[in-house]
Structure formats: C-alpha cells, structure tokens
Structure 1
Amino acid sequence: MKSLFNHKYHTKFALLNLKFASSLSIIDDPPIFLGKYGRGSSPFDPIQFFSEYAKSRLCTITNTKVLHTHLLRTAVLQSNIFVANSLLDWYCKSAAMVDALKLFDLIPHPNIFSWNIMISGYNQNALFLNSWGIYCRMHSSGFEPSDITYGSVLSACTALRAPMFGKQVYSLAMKNGFFSNGFVRAGMIDLFAKTCSFVDALRVFHDVSCQNVVCWNAIISGAVKNEENWIALDIFRQMCSRKLVPNSYTFSSVLTACAAIEDIETGKGVQAWVIKCNAEDVFVGTALVDLYAKCRKMDEAVKKFSQMPIRNVVSWTAIISGFVKKDDSISAVKFFRDMRKTGEEVNNYTLTSVIAACTQPTMIEESTQIHCLILKTGFYLDAAVGAALINMYSKVGAADVSERVFQEMENLQNMGTWAAMASSYAQNQASGRATELFQKMLQESLKPDEFCTSSVLSIIGCLDFGRQIHCYALKSALGFYCSVGCSLSTMYSKCGSLEESYKVFLEIPAKDNVSWASMIAGFAEHGFADQALELFRDMLSDGVMPDNMTLNAGLTACAVLPSLKTGKEIHGYALRAGLGNDRVVGGALITMYSKCSALKLARSVFDVLPEKDQVAWSSLASGYAQNGYIEEAVLLFHHMLMADLAIDSFIVSSILGSIALLNKTSIGTQLHAHIIKMGLDSDVSVGSSLVTMFSKSGSIEDCCKVFDQIEEPDLIGWTAMIVSYAKNGRGAEALRVYEIMKKEGIKPDSVTFVAVLSACSHSGLVEEAHFHLHSMAKDYGIEPGYRHYACMVDLLGRAGRLEEAERFINDMPIEPDSLVWGTLLAACKVHGDIELGKRAAAKVMELEPYDAGAYISMSNICADVGQWEEVLKIRSQMKGIGVMKEPGWSFL
C-alpha cells in the first residue's frame, strides 16, 4: 500500500512538472526553472519549487499571474492548500494585494497560514487598516489566531497608532494562553512604547518573567525611543544579570542610549562586550560612531568609522553630525565629499547635517554648492531640508536668500519652514518682518506652533502686540510649552512689565534652565537684584541643576547689588559643578568681581580660564577702568591689540571712559584713529563715549564731528551731546540740541533732564529750568528726583537767589537729601551767607554725620568771615566723631 501511494504521488507530480515547464516557457527568464525541473528526471518538489521561485528575481506580478493561470488549468489550487498559500504569498510580495484578496476569497478552506499571509502582506505594503480588517474577519469566522497572527496585527495597530485596538488584541491573546509568548508580548510592548505610553509598556514587560531576548530588546528599544535612556541602561543590566545573551539589536539600542546621555564609559564597556560576542554589524558599528561623535570624541569616532567594513547612509550621517556638533565645519564638509565619492546615496538627515556645517559666514561658497546639489537631487521639496537652508542663509548673513528659499518652497503648509523663517527674522532683528509673517500665517488659516510663536516673541518690542500673541498662545494651548512661556516672560520683561513677566513665569508647568535664567536676569536688569537672587535660591530648592546660563544670571544679580559674599558662593557652586572654567561663567565671574571692586579675584579668574574669549577680556578691561585702575585698563587693551583679538564697541567704550578720566587727550586721539580704522566710529555707544572724552578736554568742535559720524544716535548719544554743551557753559546750544532730539522722535529720560537742567544752571536760565522741571511730569510722566532738584538749587544759588533756593527746598514734594542741602551749602560759601550756610550744613550733618565735605565747607565759610572760634569748634567736632578729611590729588 505504501509503495502504491508513493507511485501515485510521483506520477501525479511528474505530470504536473511537465505542465509547469510548458507554462513557464513564456516567463521572462525561464532557464532558471526549466533547467532544473523542465527536463530533469527527478520528481517535482512543490515546496522546493515555490521556495526557490520566491527567492529569485522572477517573483513579479506578471510572472505570478502566469503561474496562477497555469494552476487554474491544473485545478491544483482547489486541492492543495500549500500551493494556494504559496501563490497567495507571491501576490503579497509582488504588492498585488487586490489580486491576493481575490485569490484568498476563492480558497475553499483557508487555514491559519492563509490568514497570516494576508495580514502580513497588508503590513508589508503599509495597508495597516486592511490588515486590521482581515484580522476582524478572521476573528468573526471563528479561527483561532496563532502567535504570528497576534504579533502581526499588533504591528498594524502600532502603525495605526491605535492602542485601544491593540489592548483588545492583547487581551484576547492572554485569554487564549499566549500571555507568556515572547513574540506577542514584544508586539504589545512596542505598541505602547510607540504610542507614548511607556509606563504601560513597562507594565506589560514586568507582567511575566521572560527569558525571551525579543521582549528585552523591545522594552530597551522602547525606553530609548521615549528618551528614558537611564531606564534602558538599567533594564540592560538586569538582562545581563539573568545571563541572557544580547544580540546586535540589543547592543545598538543600548549604545544609542549611552550616546543620548553622553555616557562614554558605559558605552566603552558595551563596546568591549560587542567585541567579545563578535556581534558587530553595520547597525552596531554606526551606533558606536554615533556614541563617540555625540561625546565629542571625534578621533575615536573617525577610527571606528574607518574600521567599519560596510557603511550605510546612517553611518556617514553620524560622523558628519559629530563634526557639526564640535563646530568643525571643514571636517564635516570633507566627509560629506568623501561620502559622495563612494556613491552612497544621501538622505534628508545627511543634508540637514551638512547644511548645519555651512552656517559660517566664511563658507558661503560651500553653502551655495550644497544648495545646487539639493536642487539637482530634488530634496528641495523636503520641508526639513528647506528649513535647514533658510536657517543656513540666515546665519551666513544672507537673509534675503532665506526669504527667497521660503517663497520658492512648494510645501508652504509645513510648519517647520514657517518656524525657520520666523527664526531667521529673529536672528536678523527684523521685528517688523517677523510680525508680518505671524499675521500672514493667521490670515492663511495656519496655526503657528510653539517654535514660530517663540521666535516672534523673542524679537518683538511692542507690549500690545505681545499681549495679542499671549492671547493666541492661551487660546491655542501653546502656553503649556516651556519655550513659549519663557519667550512670553522675556517679552514682558523686555517691554518693562516685570509683574506680568513673573506671572507668566509662575504659570510655566515645567520650568527649564532657560526659563529660570531668563526670569533671574529680568529681575536683575530691572533693579530687583535681591529678588533675582531669591529666585536663584528657589531654583536650587526645586532641585534644578544650574547650567552656565543660570549661573551667569545669578552672578549678574550679584554684580548689580553688588554682593561679593553671594558671588563667591555661586563661584564655589560653579567650581563643584565643573563649570568654573566655562567661558560664559568665567566672563560673568570677572564682571561680578569687578563690580564688587575685587580686582585681584577678577584677575585670578581671568588667568586660569583655559579659553579667554572676547567677553573675558572686555570684562576685565572694563573692570579696571570702572574701578579707577586706568593704566591697567589701557595696558590690557594694548595687549588685546597686540594679540590681534577682536575688539567690540563695549570694550572700546569702557577704555574711552578711562581715558576721559585720565584726561590724556593724546591717547584718546590715537584710539580715535584706531576706532575709525575698525569702522566703529558710527557705533552709537562708541560715538557717545568719544563725545564724553572730547567734552572733558573742552573740545566741543571735536564733539560735534564725532556726533555727526554716529549712524543712528540714540538717547544716550543725544544726552552725551547735551551734557557736553552744558559742562562747557554753552547752555543755549545744549537746549537747541535737546529740541532737535525731540523732533527726531526720541523721548528724554530722567538722565536727559539732569543734563538739560544742568545746562540751564551753567547759563543762568532760571525760567527755562522751571519750564523743563514741570515738563518732566506733565509731558513725559517722569517724576523729578534728587539730582533734578539739586540742579534747580544750584541754578538759584548761582543766580544769588539763596532764600528762594531755601524755600524751593522746603517746598519739595520729596524729603530733601544731603545732595540737595549740600548744593545749597556750596552756594552759601560762594556768596558768604553764613547763617543760611549754618542751617544747610546742619541738615547735611544730620543726614550724613560722617560726610567730611559739609564740615569743611562750613569751616571755610567761617574762616572767610574771620570767625576763627567757629572754625576751631567745627574742627574739634570732626575730631570727636572721627571724621577725616581726605587729602586732595590731581592728575596735573
């Protein structure tokens, strides 16, 4: 019986073999099969035939239909489920899912393999909704799914981002006894991990103790994708402790986690294990390159990259991105060129990386070449590449080209390109264009995202428009983003509304270092340094680890107070945090110590900085200048020039201030020539300092020439010119400049009014002074301060109207201070009014008991009228309370 069965079996398929040969003769390349089956004597093996056909290049839709036609003629499809399933699999691999479904519907008794082939086929062709539909149809037909079924349909749910469907499938799998199946559990872990429910993924993983590496790989990979890198490393250690052997997939995920947190030591340990297990493939090698690149170990990254036998586009992109991160644009471009020479195809990630390398102004030629390549390869349609191009041209100073790229992009509905354009306007301080862009987005029914909103907020200076954007952010639920909240807080602070700034800051749900640094700096800049330091302490109490920006903000607050003790404490914290040699922190420390008159400490910090940038040099030079170490300031500036360091307007202004104090006109003239050579004479801060310097030497003509060179004089520049005229006794010209300033649309501040009243005082313009004093509050809402009232007292005193000056002081809306009474005392000395002088001196001594000036002035008044007993009495009084007269000195 057995021999008879074998005889029939071989006879049946021998005939089938011949029919196959005749049908296959019309296939494009028949020798592959005819040589083996068409003329051979061996019996036909359908399993081998279908397997080899699937592996060959003949598995196309045309050839599959030819085979289908032949099988229909032989009627074998109705009798052999293996043949039917094999043909069904060919259709799926040929992406002919419509034909596959027609064949599936004609199979009289499909088995579990038939259903699985259809589900997997739809998955392979990204028709995940159809995959779910077939599964539902299978379930309603009463078929019991296998682990392959559950795993495949869970993959479809993952692609559809449908966790509810996935939970239903997983519940059914557990009910049917698959709760410990590694393939099913891995699918569910992957589903939860990719749908932002990593906690649920962990719960599924920990439900059952599992020795299946696939499950461990799924949870480690899920942790990495959810940026839970520390958890990924911890799970990997647990996996190793259970003596499970990791594979290349495990190693690549773990190395990616090490790269994300820049844990080079753990990464090297994993690399050693990779070598031991001989588990390195292109993915592990790429992960190692990425690890070293992200840890800024580019020598090791290049060495590992050169050792890779096979490199893919991800490997090349990793090494290029590493050089970009290290600001080595030349090496990044070089590797990109080498990549092109190998013929490796680039992708959008490669292009965005190399575009980021070309953001230096010196690389405009390379950036143009990259742009041409993008146009040639068609990547200009990619939104990410277009956004990178916009950002690149913005940073090389070609904002007009950025705008042209933005206008030429077809996919203008992509929010990334709009955000890049908004950022470009912000970088180039084009607040008007940024505002227009934001309004245009709203007009075109686009919804600005957090990146667009943050960029626009960072540049606008109009409080009303800022409030409108704030309303939009609240309406669009963008206020929950830390970047938007931080930008709003900064905007309110910049516009002078510190209360609203702090209110927004408190509403930020998850404050990062940027938001803390912004708020601390806002308090310090608006004169609330105590509150700034209190906020810094609150940040530490909340467990936030300060970075260089928050430390910089805290040190700025210490400089404003000034508070040397707190500054030293922050310095100590910076040293413990390993940021003591950071360039940003170093510059802030030098400024803080300089403001606190601790120049030796400032110099010590400067000397130990490994990389002294422009800020460090400028801070120390300015510190010397502001603390009266004029020669040291000029000498340091000379060293900067000799070292060919970049000189900015800030340090030039500080040095000019020092030279003005020294009254060294010759040095000032030399520096003026150097300023013209550098092209800084049109800078408003430098021009204002030059005006002040020439004013000190009495050269009004030079003041006028310098002022005319300023491109756009600001309030400080105009005020400096008014002060120059006032100090040189030319009050009428000072008031004329003041009127011109107002016509230019520049509003005066309290300092400007001090200059105006001083000009009136030096020229005896009493009525004009009263007019401008009243104009302060009436026209500009500025309440007069002690210096303004002192100017009025000085004016009345110079005019000899001492009693009127006394009445003016008594009628002041604020309590007079020692400056006001001291001004009257000086006028009494000039005019020899001893009685009024005594009253003024008594007021000064009451307010400032240790002010030697009042005692000396009163003593001189008495001496002038021959009251030597009073002189001795005053001298004795000074000695009794310990008031010492400082010796006079002069530069002459």
Structure 2
Amino acid sequence: MRTRDKMIKFVKLTPNVSQVSSLKFVSSLAVNDNPSIVLGKYGRANSPFDSIQFFSEYAKSGLCTIRNSKILHTHLLRTAVLQSNIFVANSLLDWYCKSGAMVNALNLFDLISHPNVFSWNIMISGCNQNGLFLHSWGIYCRMHSSGFEPNEITYGSVLSACTTLRAPMFGKQVYSLATKNGFFSNGFVRAGMIDLFAKTCSFEDALRLFHDVSCQNVVCWNAIISGAVRNEENLVALDFFFQMCCRNLEPNSYTFSSVLTACATLEAIETGRGVQAWVIKHDAEDVFIGTSLVDLYAKCGKMDEAFKKFAQMPIRNVVSWTALISGFVQNDDPVSALKVFRDMRKMGVKINNYTLTCVITACAQLAMIEESVKIHCLVLKTGFYLDAAVGAALINMYSKVGAASLSEMVFKEMENLQDLSTWAAMASSFAQNQNSSAAIQLFQKMLQESLRPDKFCTSSVLSIIICLNLGRQVHCFALKTGIAFCDSVGCSLLTMYSKCGSLEDSYRVFKEIPQKDNVSWASMIAGFAEHGFADQALMLFREMLSDEIILDNMTLNAILSACSALHSLQIGKEIHGYALRAGLGNDRVVGGALVTVYSKCSALELAKKVFDVLPQKDQVVCSSLVSGYTQNGYIEEAFFLFHYMRMSDLAIDSFIISSILGSITLLNKSSIGTQLHALIIKMGIDSDVYVGSSLVTMYSKYGSIEDCCKVFDQIEEPDLIGWTAMIVSYAQHGKGAEALRVYELMRSEGISPDSVTFVAVLSACSHSGLVEEAYLHLHSMATDYGLEPSYRHYACMVDLLGRAGRLKDAERFINDMPIEPDSLVWGTLLAACKIHGDIELGKRAATKVMELEPHDAGVYISMSNICADVGQWEEVLKIRSQMKGTGVKKEPGWSFL
C-alpha cells in the first residue's frame, strides 16, 4: 500500500556531480545491505528524490539497523540536506531511536538547529521504547523550558514515562499543563492519565477522571477497563465493557483482551463465551485475544477447550504457550504441562522467565525430582539463573520435593541480587521444612542488610514461631513497617498468638484486621476451638454469618472442629445443612469434619451415611471414621474399614494404625495384635512415636512388659506420650521402681511431664508403697511444672495411704485437700476401709459418696460387704433396705464361662 500523500516536499537537488554520486551511493548501500529490497530508483539523477516514500518504506523494511543509520548519516553529512530539511533530520533521528542507538540519536538531536515538536516527540518516544524513561522526562523538561508547545503525542508519551517511573506527582504536573493548554478532553492525554492513576495512585482517582467528561474515545475506555482489571475490580471492568457496547463504541483487540482477563479471574465462563462470540462476529481475533481465551478456559478448569483453542490459533507467541502450560499447572496436570513445554521447545519458540516459572512450578512434586534437576540445568543453560522470579520458583520447587539443601544452594547463588522475592521464597522454604531457627536467622539477616521483609516473608516467619516473646518482636516490626494489617500478616499473627497460648492477643489482632477474609475467620475460630473455647468459636461463627460472609470449606472445617469439642450433635446437623445448601456437602475436607463430629457424638450411622455419599474417600475421611468406630466400641466395623483402605490402596498413616491398635486392646486377642505388629514392621513405621506408644499400651494390656520394653526401644524419638505409656506399663505391672527410673530418664531427656504422667508416677508409687516419694512428686507438680493436681492425683495419694494401712492419714489428707473431694476420692478411701476392715471410717466415707452419688449401687454393696466381713448382719440388712428405698439396683454379674 502506498504511503500518505506528500505533505512535505523534499528540496529537489540540482543535477550536479556530487548530487548524482551521493544519491547513487545511498541506493547502492541499500541494495548491498539487503539485495531483496531495491531502493535504487530513488537515486536516479534525472528524477526527483521522494524523501517521504523513501524513509517510510525503508522503515517498514526492517532495515533500521545502527549500521545502516550511521551509513546514511555519513552520506547526508556530505550534502546540505540534513541541515536544510527538518523532515530528513527527524527521519534519521527516528531510525536511530528504532535501532536502539540513543546516544547517536541524542548527539544528532543536539545538532539540529531548529528542532520542531516532532523532533522532541521522536526523542521522548524513543527513550520510552528503549526503557530510558528518566531520560524521557528530562527531554520533556528541556522542551518545556525551551518554550516549545507540546501536543497530545508529547503529553501522552510523557505520561507513559511517568507511569513506568511510578511518579504520580510528575504526571499530575504534566496533566495540569495539558489541561491548561486545552488538551483536557483529548482522548490520548486522558487515557495516559487514567493509566497513570490506575497503576500508581488509586483506582478511585482514575474513575473520577474518567467520569469528568463524557468520552467517545475507545482508548480512554480501554484505559479504564484495563485499570479496573489491574486493580482486581473485575466486575467493574465488565460493567464498563457493557456500557461501552451500549454506546455503540467498537471494542478493539486491547478491549477484548482486558475483558477476557477479567472473565478468567472471575471464572465467569459463560460471560467469557459471550465475549468470544462477539469477537467471532466482528472477526477481531488476533494472537492476543486467542491467548486470553486460552487463559480463560484454563482458569475455569476447561483444559480440553483451552487446548482446542490453542490448537486453532494460526499464530502463537511465547505468551500463548505459557498460558496453556500455566493452565495445566493450575489444574494439577504437571505431566501435560511438561509435554506442552517440550513441544514448545521443539517448535523453536523462545522461552521467557514466565514460561520457566510455570514449568518449575509443575515440577514441584516429590514424584518429579528428576525433572526438577533437568529444569534447573535448562535454567543455567539459558541464562535465567539470575532472574529473581525464576530463582524464587527454584527455591520453592526444591523445598516441595524435600531437597531443602538445594533450596539453600540456589538462594546463595542469588543472594547478592537483594531481591525480596527470593528472600521470601527462602523463608517459606525454611517454614515448610519446620526449620524455625534458620527462618528467624534469615529474617534477622535481612534487617542487618537493610532489606525490609515484605508481607510474604513476615508471614512465613510468623507461621513457625512458637515463642511468644519473639512473636511479639516480629509483631512490633510489622506494626512499624505498616504491614501488620495486611490479610496474610494479620492471619499469621493471630495464628502465632493462638499457638503460643495467648488467645487474648490473638483475638485483639483479629479485631484489628480491617478486611477479614475467610482465612482470618477460619484461623480465629480454629484457635478458640483448639484451646478449649468452643463456645466462643460458635459465637464468632454466628458473627461471621451476620456479616454475610460466604463460607468456604476451611471455615466449615474450623467450626465443625468446635462442634466436635462440644459434642454438639444438633449444631453439627445445622452446619451439615448449611454445607449442603452451599454445595459443599461432598467436599472432602468438610466431609471428614462431619464424620468426626458424628463420631464424637456417637452418631455412627450418620457418620457412615456422610462417608458413603462422598465421591472421593481419602485417607483423612477414612481415619475419622476408623477413629469413631474404635472410640465407640465398633471394633468389627473399624477392622472392615481398615481392610477397605488396604484394598483401595489408600495411604495408611500412624493415626489410623494407632486407632486400630487401641481397638485391639479391647478385643483381648493377642494374635491379632501380633499380626498387626508384623504389618507395622513391614510398612516401616514401627519407629513412629504414635504407633510405638500404642504398641506399648497394647502389650501392657496383654501382660507382656518385656514386649513393651522392646517396642519402646524401637521408637526413634519418644515423646511425652511414649514415655508416659512406658511409665504406666511398669506401674500396672507393680514395677514401681522401674516406672520411677523411666520417669527420671524422661526428665533427663528434657521432656516435661504433664498431668497424665503424674497420675502414672503416683500410681507407680502406690503399687510399690513409696509414700514419701509420692508426696515429693505431688509437691513437684505445682512447684516445678506449674500443674495443679486434680481429683485423679489426690485419689492416687489416698489409694497409696490406704494400701499402706494409714487410713487416718488418708482421711486427714482428704480433709486438707485444697479442692472439695469428689466421689472418686471418697470411694478410694472406702475401698481401702474394706480391705482393712475399718467400719467406722468406711461408714463416713460411704456417707460422703452417697451424698455425692446417691444412685451409685457400688457404694451400698461395698459398705454391705464391710459389715458382712465383721458379722454385722443387721447393718447388712439395713443397707439392703436402704437400697430398695432409694430405688438403687445392683446389676447382676455375668460371665462367658
């Protein structure tokens, strides 16, 4: 197609020798540089030289290289054309800018004696094109101080530079000057300012500017739509698009791409299909719209349609390929993602850092460790190893495949980049691998090197802090830097305080979060539930509902945990109904929590119904039901479900094995326990602390203390539960001295006992008659460990004194208790009185028990037996008569024998 009509006449050269030779020289240079393009016809001496057509077609030919520009510059310097014709000077200036020779362009510009507004615009645009935005601003300032009047091109280009420089103050000054000079309603200028506000200030300012003047310019509408998408106001973007269509404005490729991006983010597949129909109707599809459609279908989980659209694209660029790869990654199909990546490389498409980060993310799985190493090698080979985003992705990948040392290696190679994303990725890696000391040291190092940790890095560090004092220091840092009220940091703070046992601080942080998301609500509800404040969790849940927040599976899981703690069947059913209405009834997380609630409430039929309707039964759901069966005595059902899990190749973890082991002790069948122990050894989990502790308990119930010791020795790192199980085993077998030795060994390992451990220790003292030692341990509970003795501890002391025959001391001990004795304590004394035949004390103990538990038949029977042992038959008859009067009945005994 011919260029525009000649608006500027080139000063015709007179046909002299220098003219002819020089023009032929230009022609020959062009032909020699690229013989396929013949420009020689403009060099004939007998025809005028058409400068407009020459420079226009030469620019279109793609030959605006630095070499050609310098050659032409040299030729023009030998003629008077460069100084006498501003069009030629501007064209050469434009060549230099297009070829990236900005130093040459600036030198030429300085030599132009009378530059016009086009000269200035070429320089400003050239700086923008070559990423020299600060120079662009400087040239504009020179232009303004020189008295030149900018036009809409000038203002638009400078506003673009201010946007990239994130300099809103400069941009506002430029726009004020443009408004003063009459460009207020110019679409190009307003679009630049809308873009500036949307990217650097606030979207509200961009909206205000857009609505100031009714605009029919598509560029302005594109600017506000893309600004809405950038600021995650996707519904606003769609609304503007519909308004634009109602005004009969013709959308272009840029409009459709932005709108499809909004649809993809909202996962509004039907709206996206409507936009696609519009594109087809107007035959407006190009590579950018095609890529946006691929991204839309991928983000909506329609990978078949995404791949089909991708295959139909006549032209694909690196962004198209990356969108398809990213879609497969987002839809948990790393194999397909890697296959597309291999096809991309076979096609010779040049990859970029976004492509690599998507592929690296696809390889972040345990099963793909080999692919992970290959991708790392490719990163090194292609030179992207110093890219911050790629480095962060590599660190995250190695962390997820369990190669924490390789994560640190990548980080050390990139440490000098001083990029926050890599530091945040390393902090996250340490957190995922539970390396709290390394994460905290990394955080401190960032501060020492004057790097301000961002919200991602701070959240990662907070997630593994278990020291309240240290957590408060990080909280102070977050307040000082202004990131404490970000959703992620606020949620991490309240979780940290909850883990450290400071629910008051946790709730205070929760209330200060300005915009609470579902994660914040779920974390706070879970914090209350886990620390025994299930009632407060329910109150918070009701508050959440009153705020009309849409619940997700995390929130429902948290509140169902509170229902489990309360054993509230009714509320559990109500939450179940809400989950069904919200379409989450078949969700695996919610399903597992519902099974747990119904199991804890002994509603095993409802638990089984929920289990049966779940489309996918995973390890967590099965574990919940197995635990429910064993806790409620449904041993056969528990074993059937365990068998189903093994036949279905579902992973069997230590929690399930522990539950099954607990049920075996109720069966009292050692053969089954031995078989299960063999399976545990075969699975390689005999060293697991939970499994080992359950085995110790099982063999203790079977009466084999030797097997208890063998199993305990196999535990790799016994925890408090394991040590306590061993102490209990020795105590139950009358080996008090051995139990106390295990207790001392546990303390030497740095493990602090809890109240259950002290019950086992006092029981061991009781079985071995160690009275003084028992007093010392009871005193140690409060003084050394801050534990308040409960009724079970006092009952152990009464049992100890009773076994030793010190019944008066036992009564005195009960009367001196800091808490009111319950029926368990008095019943223990009553049992001791029966053994030693102390009728008077037995009567007093029995009277106390009857007052506390008037319908306990065992008290009457015990007192009756005491009287019968010493021949007081009248008292026996009296007690029997009293039983009948109060309506208490003795349950008859029975036996299989």
TM over 0.5: yes
Looking at structure 2, the residues matched to 860 and 297 of structure 1 have their Cα atoms a distance apart, in angstroms, of 78
Q: Does 1:439 align with 2:441?
A: no
Q: Structure 1 76/816 Cα, relative in aligned 2: closer, same or farther at 3 Å?
A: same
Letter paired with 2:509: V
Looking at structure 2, the residues matched to 432 and 890 of structure 1 have their Cα atoms a distance apart, in angstroms, of 59
> How many Å apart are 1:494 and its aligned residue?
1.9
Looking at structure 2, the residues matched to 476 and 423 of structure 1 have their Cα atoms a distance apart, in angstroms, of 20
Aligned counterpart in structure 2 of residue 873 of structure 1, from 876, 881, 887: 881
Looking at structure 1, the residues matched to 242 and 474 of structure 2 have their Cα atoms a distance apart, in angstroms, of 48
Deviations, residues 208-260 of structure 1 (Å, cap 9, x unaligned): 11121111111111111111111111111111222222112111111111111
Name the count of aligned residue pairs: 882
Letter paired with 1:390: I
Asked if 1 retains the 8 angstrom alpha-carbon contact of 2:795 and 2:825, the reply is yes
Looking at structure 1, the residues matched to 150 and 621 of structure 2 have their Cα atoms a distance apart, in angstroms, of 70
Aligned counterpart in structure 1 of residue 526 of structure 2, from 521, 524, 532: 521
Looking at structure 1, the residues matched to 883 and 528 of structure 2 have their Cα atoms a distance apart, in angstroms, of 46
Q: Does 1:76 align with 2:81?
A: yes
Aligned counterpart in structure 2 of residue 53 of structure 1, from 49, 54, 58: 58
| 2:818 paired residue number | 813
| 1:4 paired residue number | none
Looking at structure 1, the residues matched to 115 and 392 of structure 2 have their Cα atoms a distance apart, in angstroms, of 51
Q: Does 1:397 align with 2:399?
A: no
Aligned counterpart in structure 2 of residue 201 of structure 1, from 182, 201, 206: 206
Aligned residue runs from structure 1 range 79-228, under 5 A: 79-228=84-233
1:803 aligned counterpart, secondary structure:
helix
* Same amino acid, percent of matched pairs: 79
Letter paired with 2:333: D
Q: Does 1:487 align with 2:495?
A: no
Q: Does 1:362 align with 2:362?
A: no
Q: Does 1:319 align with 2:317?
A: no
Looking at structure 1, the residues matched to 896 and 88 of structure 2 have their Cα atoms a distance apart, in angstroms, of 108
Q: Structure 1 677/34 Cα, relative in aligned 2: closer, same or farther at 3 Å?
A: closer
Letter paired with 1:869: L
2:306 aligned counterpart, secondary structure:
helix
Asked if 2 retains the 8 angstrom alpha-carbon contact of 1:450 and 1:483, the reply is yes
Aligned counterpart in structure 2 of residue 300 of structure 1, from 300, 305, 309: 305
Letter paired with 2:849: V
Q: Does 1:419 align with 2:424?
A: yes
Looking at structure 1, the residues matched to 349 and 96 of structure 2 have their Cα atoms a distance apart, in angstroms, of 32
Aligned counterpart in structure 2 of residue 622 of structure 1, from 627, 633, 644: 627
Looking at structure 1, the residues matched to 119 and 465 of structure 2 have their Cα atoms a distance apart, in angstroms, of 63
Deviations, residues 36-84 of structure 1 (Å, cap 9, x unaligned): 1233754322211221222234423343344334434432344433223
Aligned counterpart in structure 2 of residue 765 of structure 1, from 767, 770, 788: 770
Looking at structure 1, the residues matched to 854 and 204 of structure 2 have their Cα atoms a distance apart, in angstroms, of 70
Deviations, residues 718-755 of structure 1 (Å, cap 9, x unaligned): 10011111112221221121121112221111110000
Instruction: Indicate the larger mover: 330-339 or 24-33.
Output: 24-33
Q: Does 1:734 align with 2:739?
A: yes
2:219 aligned counterpart, secondary structure:
helix
Asked if 1 retains the 8 angstrom alpha-carbon contact of 2:529 and 2:537, the reply is yes
Letter paired with 1:198: F
Looking at structure 2, the residues matched to 734 and 62 of structure 1 have their Cα atoms a distance apart, in angstroms, of 91
Looking at structure 2, the residues matched to 816 and 452 of structure 1 have their Cα atoms a distance apart, in angstroms, of 53
Looking at structure 1, the residues matched to 296 and 867 of structure 2 have their Cα atoms a distance apart, in angstroms, of 83
> How many Å apart are 1:604 and its aligned residue?
0.9
| 1:235 paired residue number | 240
- With normalisation by structure 1, the TM-score equals 0.94
> How many Å apart are 1:166 and its aligned residue?
1.6
Looking at structure 2, the residues matched to 516 and 739 of structure 1 have their Cα atoms a distance apart, in angstroms, of 43
Asked if 1 retains the 8 angstrom alpha-carbon contact of 2:27 and 2:42, the reply is no
Aligned residue runs from structure 1 range 630-709, under 5 A: 630-709=635-714
Q: Show structure 1 runs of 5+ residues with no match.
A: 1-7
Looking at structure 2, the residues matched to 11 and 734 of structure 1 have their Cα atoms a distance apart, in angstroms, of 113
Deviations, residues 596-615 of structure 1 (Å, cap 9, x unaligned): 11111111111111111100
| 1:277 paired residue number | 282
Asked if 1 retains the 8 angstrom alpha-carbon contact of 2:431 and 2:439, the reply is yes
> How many Å apart are 1:805 and its aligned residue?
1.6
Looking at structure 1, the residues matched to 327 and 672 of structure 2 have their Cα atoms a distance apart, in angstroms, of 48
Looking at structure 2, the residues matched to 498 and 884 of structure 1 have their Cα atoms a distance apart, in angstroms, of 47
Aligned counterpart in structure 2 of residue 380 of structure 1, from 380, 385, 410: 385
Asked if 1 retains the 8 angstrom alpha-carbon contact of 2:10 and 2:85, the reply is no
Letter paired with 2:651: A
Instruction: Indicate the larger mover: 214-223 or 91-100.
Output: 91-100
Letter paired with 2:143: M
Looking at structure 2, the residues matched to 41 and 674 of structure 1 have their Cα atoms a distance apart, in angstroms, of 101
Looking at structure 2, the residues matched to 668 and 421 of structure 1 have their Cα atoms a distance apart, in angstroms, of 45
Deviations, residues 763-806 of structure 1 (Å, cap 9, x unaligned): 22222211211121122221111110011112222233323222
> How many Å apart are 1:469 and its aligned residue?
2.8
Q: Structure 1 158/13 Cα, relative in aligned 2: closer, same or farther at 3 Å?
A: farther
| 1:18 paired residue number | 20
> How many Å apart are 1:890 and its aligned residue?
6.2
Looking at structure 2, the residues matched to 112 and 891 of structure 1 have their Cα atoms a distance apart, in angstroms, of 109
Deviations, residues 13-39 of structure 1 (Å, cap 9, x unaligned): 666963542442673645645531233
1:303 aligned counterpart, secondary structure:
helix
2:438 aligned counterpart, secondary structure:
helix
Letter paired with 1:436: Q
> How many Å apart are 1:548 and its aligned residue?
1.4
Instruction: Indicate the larger mover: 513-522 or 606-615.
Output: 513-522
Deviations, residues 142-178 of structure 1 (Å, cap 9, x unaligned): 4332222221121121122121222222223233332
Q: Does 1:448 align with 2:456?
A: no
Looking at structure 2, the residues matched to 9 and 398 of structure 1 have their Cα atoms a distance apart, in angstroms, of 69
Looking at structure 2, the residues matched to 878 and 698 of structure 1 have their Cα atoms a distance apart, in angstroms, of 41
Q: Structure 1 445/149 Cα, relative in aligned 2: closer, same or farther at 3 Å?
A: closer
Looking at structure 1, the residues matched to 448 and 85 of structure 2 have their Cα atoms a distance apart, in angstroms, of 64
Q: Structure 1 40/276 Cα, relative in aligned 2: closer, same or farther at 3 Å?
A: farther
Q: Structure 1 658/330 Cα, relative in aligned 2: closer, same or farther at 3 Å?
A: same
Instruction: Indicate the larger mover: 130-139 or 708-717.
Output: 130-139
Aligned residue runs from structure 1 range 456-495, under 5 A: 456-495=461-500
Aligned counterpart in structure 2 of residue 351 of structure 1, from 351, 356, 376: 356
Asked if 2 retains the 8 angstrom alpha-carbon contact of 1:862 and 1:871, the reply is no
Instruction: Indicate the larger mover: 762-771 or 326-335.
Output: 762-771
Q: Structure 1 741/105 Cα, relative in aligned 2: closer, same or farther at 3 Å?
A: closer
Deviations, residues 472-494 of structure 1 (Å, cap 9, x unaligned): 33333332333223223222322
Asked if 1 retains the 8 angstrom alpha-carbon contact of 2:125 and 2:136, the reply is yes
Q: Structure 1 282/14 Cα, relative in aligned 2: closer, same or farther at 3 Å?
A: farther
Letter paired with 1:707: F
Aligned counterpart in structure 2 of residue 573 of structure 1, from 569, 578, 583: 578
Looking at structure 2, the residues matched to 236 and 859 of structure 1 have their Cα atoms a distance apart, in angstroms, of 90
Q: Structure 1 872/592 Cα, relative in aligned 2: closer, same or farther at 3 Å?
A: same
> How many Å apart are 1:361 and its aligned residue?
1.4
Asked if 1 retains the 8 angstrom alpha-carbon contact of 2:805 and 2:836, the reply is yes
Q: Structure 1 106/825 Cα, relative in aligned 2: closer, same or farther at 3 Å?
A: same
Asked if 2 retains the 8 angstrom alpha-carbon contact of 1:394 and 1:428, the reply is yes
Letter paired with 1:811: D
